Amino acid sequence: MKAVKIIAVVLVAALIAAAGVLIGIDYAKDDGVAPLADIVSSNLIAEEYPDYKNDVYLEKGDDPDLNELGLFWCREVSPGVIEMVPADTAEGAALVDPSKPTVINVHGMMTDGYYRIEDYVFNNVIGSSEEFGYDGAVVPYDTLQTLWIWLDKGWNVGVYNWHRFVSEGVDFAAIEAKVWSTDGPANVRWRSSDGKYHDDPVEYSLAELFVGDYLRALELLDDDFGKEEIRFTAHSMGGELVSAAAFLLYEISEGESAQISADKLPDRMTMDDTFFGAYLQVGDNLFDISAKGLSVRWTGKDMPDDRTGRAVIEAIQYLAQKGVVIEYYTYNSSFLNLAIPAEDRQILLDSSVYILADPNYVNPDYGEYSLLTDGHVALRKYSQCSICRAYPGGEMSDAEKVAYANALPTSELKKLVGKAFLMTGGASTLTTADDVFEEISHAEIMEKAKK
């Protein structure tokens, strides 16, 4: 049922785009560095923030459904398989080695999130254990989880589970509203394993709950945590959540009442086919399925431009100015990519490494993936498993560097911010080892988005 619904939405969006009704908005790029006050609406910046560590949390009690939610650290159960341990426990904190880099991953919308947790298992019809350098007899492919590869490559691995909040069918507006606000069409309700929705008041937005969970997890870790890289990775709607949460974390790191030290902030954000709100202009009419009439929970003010997608873009631009290195992966026929207004797309191009990678995997027993129906999730698998490829360093072109994806060191990725790349080879395999990219101009990207 989940696949059918999502495919239906994507098909409709693709047909609209194919008909040429996506109209761009002219945007004049300013080559100067704008002050943060000109980047972020005052509607997003509060004069005072809650004490997130002590006051902002989800009342879980002994509810087994609610106790699946929040931040978890991962450990190996068997080769290729992980389990998640709550990050606010001594058992979870003991899994974190401050001498290692850290990645925290956030999943996207899950129509089936009320009865299952995202397991990050590969689709059996694509790839193999051997493709990533593992013996299939030791690391069986049918149980291999993408996040285990990060553990195997020497990372601390965290997962933020919010599946019970994002199980709203294909009602994008209801979900994205929860990220920023408590007054959306579905407030901040959650769905239990029996399929029932629970409208019990949740005082804070989901971005704020993320921040509270993160700060409480940090309290249990060694003071040296953060001397190595901290990376946030997210897929689809998860990109909206991490953008808002990272924005808040940077906001509360400043001033005499700072709630977090700078070394504990994320250094890099990987955004896999992020949701920026759905915004299409058809003739003189605006087709906008984003949540409307929202207030930003932590300021009480209206959403910038009455559009959550605009809030995401402002957060990204703000984070880029703060030094966070951002990489954005999408593909040409992605509905979520096509739905970005031209003005916002230009800001995204300027603030990130913008990568068009068209996963079209081939299996002799299955045939080709369809970009239209499979590409959105396939891109996440592509991005996450790219950490298995070792970066050799040395002289290479920008396009050769970007082919290493998540395995590219952040110091190298930072040099590519403001550039865009198009995959020209390697789309039929899950591994990045055979990938070929070429640099593409912003003008070409903007033109592609109009078609």
List the pLDDT tens digit at each of the 451 positions of the chain.
Answer: 333 334 334 333 433 333 332 322 222 223 445 566 578 889 999 999 999 999 999 999 999 999 999 999 999 999 999 999 999 999 999 999 999 999 999 999 999 999 999 999 987 677 889 999 999 999 999 999 999 999 999 999 999 999 999 999 988 899 999 999 999 999 999 999 999 999 888 999 999 999 999 999 999 999 999 999 999 999 999 999 999 999 999 999 998 899 999 999 999 999 999 998 866 655 555 567 778 899 999 999 999 999 999 999 999 999 999 999 999 999 988 888 888 888 999 999 999 999 999 888 877 666 677 777 788 888 999 999 999 999 999 999 999 999 999 999 999 999 999 999 999 999 988 899 999 999 999 999 998 777 6
Query: What's the token pair of residue 229?
Result: 């890289």
CB 68 within 8 A of CB 226: no
Of 338, 277, 270, 295, whose CA–CA distance to 109 is shortest? 277
Instruction: State residue 284's pLDDT score.
Output: 52
CB 327 within 8 A of CB 352: yes
Who contacts 214 (Cβ-Cβ below 8 Å, separation ≥6)? Answer: 71, 104, 245, 249
Query: What's the token pair of residue 110?
Result: 């899950």
Element (H, E) at 448: helix 442-450
Please state the domain extents for the chain.
2-450
Q: How many CA atoms lie within 13 A of 64 on its CB side?
A: 5
CA 20 to chain centre: 28
Instruction: State residue 124's pLDDT score.
Output: 66
Query: Could you please report the per-residue DSSP string of 54-91?
Result: HH-----TT-TTGGG-EEEEEEEEETTEEEEEETTSHH
Instruction: State residue 157's pLDDT score.
Output: 98
| Radius of gyration in angstroms for the set of CA atoms belonging to the chain, rounded to a whole number | 21
Instruction: State residue 366's pLDDT score.
Output: 66
Instruction: State residue 364's pLDDT score.
Output: 67
Instruction: State residue 290's pLDDT score.
Output: 78
Q: What is the pLDDT of residues 321-368, one digit of tens each?
A: 999 999 999 998 888 888 888 899 999 999 999 999 988 887 766 667
Of 273, 329, 349, whose CA–CA distance to 13 is shortest? 273
Q: What is the pLDDT of residues 193-207, one digit of tens each?
A: 999 999 888 999 999
> Angle at the Cα of 387 (from 421 to 154), degrees rounded to 5?
150
Instruction: State residue 388's pLDDT score.
Output: 95
Instruction: State residue 5's pLDDT score.
Output: 36
